[in-house]
Structure 1
Amino acid sequence: MRILHTSDWHIGRTFHGSSTLDALRVVLAALVDQVRENNVDVVIVAGDVFDSAMPAADCYSVLSDTLVALRDAGAQVIVTSGNHDSAARLGFQSKLLRDGIFIVTDPRSIGTPITISDEFGPVHFYGIPFLEPALVRHVWNDVPLRSQRDTLTHAMTRVRNDMQSRAGRSVAIAHCFAAGVDPTPQLERDIQQGGLDVVPLEVFADVDYAALGHIHGRQRLSEHVRYAGAPLHYNFGEGSKPRGGWLVDLDADGLSTVSTFELPVPRALVTLTASLEELLDPELFPEATDAWVFARYTDIAPQPDPMRRLQARFPHCAKVAHTPSVVHEDHAASFGARVRAVRNDAELFEAFLTHVRNGVGADEAESQIIRELVAERSLAEIAG
């Protein structure tokens, strides 16, 4: 049996204010092509199908059209819910779809597999929807569930109990943050800020393959535990990571081979670091003209209206940051200390500009304006 493992479609997500639906349609069409070209039997979508609990109407059509296209290409499809999904809304889709498309959102179904057979016999797919401890305690009120580690451990215990009563191979599908070691307090705290804590790798022992979602970069945690990654780049930090997933082959004995498949990148992500003058030079950075651009300009002082100016050079400039090449060392204890040392209003203006512009004070033209403003204020006070 050949399985295509994907995850984290995040249908409806925006990229710095721009819709990604059209780009995602292109990539998901390529995913359907991968199913045809590689004779895939089963497609797994391991959570975060939508980007929000209340997706727009267009998002539903993207999902439904893709699932039907995957089925028409010859694959059965198994979808589980992730932490971005509304289990109820995603589960509603399952009643509208044809045979061979399965959407798993109910925690009560954990331990009851979707069984699909090949020439070697049955393969049992155990879908595990995202399990928020506070929301599933009532389902298993006799089990202490305080963390993702607790909920996934309990879920996989139910899976193993069921496996003991069945012959055949097994695949677990989950959406979580998995690690190969016990979580450290600092790491666990960081992950919990995003709603997930660390699940030790051994939780997924005993199954032939564990198809995970949540991490947006394709990763191999062990031979049989892997993340597929997201089909699109959703932030500049992912820009260097390829898009795609895993093709997983099961033979009569279990896991046989795992290989990668690639997906197209509709628009490349590029991070440019240079002075604003260099970034605006039409002769430089030709490769970024049609890319999503994160521009980091290195001028000592902040420059006026950099986004508008950069978008005239790079139409898809999405993010700008001032990252000065030299950071002024301010030896004063604070801006307040600097202000207390000034002798007049003109020096106050100068101190403020120097503070907010990385040590760059007023130039001659600015100094002239400051002197005129201070003089006008003085005359107004005298007249008053």
Structure 2
Amino acid sequence: MKILHTSDWHIGRTFQTHSTLDHLQTVLDALVEVVREHEVDVVAVAGDIFDSATPSADAYALLSGTLAKLHATGARVVMTSGNHDSATRLGFQSEWTGLAGIHVVTGFDQYRTPITIDDEYGPVHFYGIPFLEPALIRHHYPDELLKTHEQALGLAMRQVRDDLAERDGRSVVLSHCFAAGVTASDVERDISAGGLDLVPASVFDGPDYVALGHIHGRAILSERMRYSGAPLHYSFAEADKPRGAWLVELDAGGLAGVEWVDLPVPRRLRVLTGELLELAHKDEFLAFENDWVAAVLTDQVRPLDGMRILQKRFPHCVALEHRPAISMSAGPSTYSDRVAHKSDPEIVAGFLEFVRNGVGLTDFERELVADVLGQNPEGAAG
């Protein structure tokens, strides 16, 4: 059996206020072609299908269209809800879509009944564990201590192993969580009030393969336990991370092999560093004109209209930071100590030099300051 492991589609998420629906459509169409080309039997989507609990009509249309295309390949689909999804909305009419081979698992205990799909070697049981928020499920288990995600998933996996012990065949688990051994990026939001609630990898002992979601970068915790990451880049911190999915193969004995399959990047992400005029005019930056650009300007004085000037060359420049090559140190003394014995012109000159990172007054500015202070000595008194 061939399984394509993907996750974190985040349909509807914006990138720096720009819609990503068209780019995600391109990537998911490519994913459908991977399924067709490799004759994938099952597509496993490990949570965060939507980016919001209240998806837009366009987001629903993209998901419906993608599922229809996957169904046309002959593949089955197993997907779970993540912390960004509304389990109720995502699971709406799931009992009917299951009849078409599109299995959407959102119920808090729905994983206890696996989705069983046969191949030439026998059954493969898919246990889809939706995102389990301890505070929302603990009342269903009054005899269990459920305060952390480790405890919630520990309970779920004990139930999975108990069920599996009564069945013949191989098994795959889908889960959406932070598993120990991975690092979150700035687009993965905390899933508990106290910060990241890590789940030890040992919690997932047993299944032949564990398809994880929630981390937006590809990660391998073990040969049988992996994150596929998101299909799109949603942050400049992810710019160098590959986008794709895991192609998993099971044979009669269980896990036979795992291969990475790249997906296209509709628009690359690039962080460019340099002075404004260099970025705006030098030929070495020509190759990046169609990329998403985050610019770090090293000019000593913050340029006026920096973003407007950059966007003439880089239409998709969406972030700007001023980081001078040389920074002035304020020193240990307080501002009042530093100006106590200075004249008004010296105070103005010192202030401008400080905010302009060491660039002093020009002759014209010095004359202008002296002229203004000379004309308005009362206003100049501090």
Normalization by structure 2: what TM-score? 0.92
Shift of 1:332: 4.2
Distance change >3 Å, CA 194–CA 249, structure 1 → 2:
farther
Match of 1:114 in 2: 115
1:219 deviates by 1.3
Q: Which residue of 1 aligns with 2:230?
A: 230
Deviation (angstroms), 1:380:
7.8
Superposed displacement of residue 99, structure 1: 1.4
Match of 1:328? 328
Matches of 1:157 and 1:340, distance apart in 2 = 71
Confirm whether residue 362 of structure 1 aligns to residue 341 of structure 2. no
Partner of 1:82: 82
- CA separation of 1:44/1:335 partners in 2, compared to 1, >3 Å: closer, same or farther? farther
* Secondary structure, counterpart of 1:22 in structure 2: helix
The answer on whether the counterparts of 1:35 and 1:70 sit within 8 Å (CA) in structure 2 is yes
User: Which deviates more from structure 2 when the two are superposed, residues 251-260 or residues 324-333?
Assistant: 324-333
CA shift for structure 1 position 77: 0.5
Which range moved further: 355-364 or 69-78? 355-364
RMSD: 2.3
Conservation of the 8 A alpha-carbon contact between 1:173 and 1:211: yes
Residue number in structure 2 paired with 1:338: 338
Offset at 1:341? 4.5
* Partner amino acid, structure 2, of 1:360: V
Q: Which secondary structure does the structure 2 equivalent of 1:35 belong to? A: helix
- For the residue of structure 1 that corresponds to 2:160, the secondary structure is helix
Which aligned pairs between 1:2-21 and structure 2 lie closer than 5 A? 2-21=2-21
Identify the residue that residue 280 of structure 1 maps to in structure 2.
280
For residue 359 of structure 2, give the secondary structure of its aligned residue in structure 1.
Answer: coil
SS of corresponding position for 1:256: strand
Match of 1:102 in 2: 103
CA 1:365 to 1:149, structure 2 compared with 1: closer, same or farther past 3 Å? farther
SS of residue in 2 equivalent to 1:241:
coil
Determine the structure 1 residue equivalent to 2:139: 138
Deviation at 1:377, TM superposition (A): 3.7
Equivalent position amino acid for 2:258 in 1: V
Unaligned runs of 5+ in 2: 184-188
Partner residue in 2 for 1:257: 257
Aligned-residue offset at 1:355: 2.9
Deviation for aligned residue 1:286: 1.2
Correspondence for 2:186: none
Q: 1:118 to 1:356 in 2, by over 3 A?
A: same
Give the stretch that moved more between structures: 203-212 or 283-292.
Answer: 283-292
Residue deviations 1:12-43, cap 9 Å, x none? 11111110000000000000000000000000
How much has 1:244 moved relative to structure 2? 0.2
Structure-2 residue corresponding to 1:186: none
Distance 1:9 1:339, change over 3 A: farther
- Correspondences of 1:198-213 after superposition (within 5 Å): 198-213=198-213
**How does the TM-score come out when normalised to structure 1?**
0.91
Supply the distance in 2 between the matched residues of 1:358 and 1:95 (Cα, whole angstroms). Answer: 64
- Per-residue deviation, 1:59: 0.5
Q: How many equivalent residue pairs?
A: 375
CA distance in 1, matches of 2:54, 2:340: 53
Q: CA deviation at 1:306?
A: 1.3
Please name the residue that 1:244 is paired with.
Answer: 244
Matched, 1:350 2:372: no
Instruction: Using the TM superposition, give the Cα deviation of residue 49 of structure 1 relative to its aligned residue in structure 2, in angstroms.
Output: 0.7
Match of 1:156 in 2: 157
Q: Which runs of 5+ in 1 are unaligned?
A: 184-188
Q: 1:271 to 1:194 in 2, by over 3 A?
A: farther
Deviations 1:31-66 (A, max 9, x none): 000000000000011011111111211111111111
Deviation at 1:264, TM superposition (A): 0.4
Identity %: 54
Aligned AA for 1:39? E
For 1:374, the equivalent position in structure 2 comes to: 373
85-94 vs 199-208, greater mean Cα deviation: 85-94
CA contact (8 A) 1:76 1:101 kept: yes
User: Is 1:72 paired with 2:37?
Assistant: no
Seen in structure 2, the aligned counterparts of structure 1 residues 354 and 102 have a Cα distance that, compared at 3 Å, is: same
Per-residue displacement from partner, 1:121-177 (whole Å, max 9, x unpaired)?
A: 111000011111111112222211111111111111111111111111010100111
- Residue 180 of structure 2: aligned partner: 179
Counterpart residue type for residue 357 of structure 2:
N
Alpha-carbon contact 1:191-1:198 (below 8 Å) kept: no
Does 2:278 correspond to 1:304? Answer: no
What is the distance in 2 between the residues matched to 1:58 and 1:297? 37
Query: Is residue 83–residue 191 contact of structure 2 (8 Å, CA) maintained in 1?
Result: no
Question: Equivalences for 1:3-42 in 2 at 5 Å?
Answer: 3-42=3-42
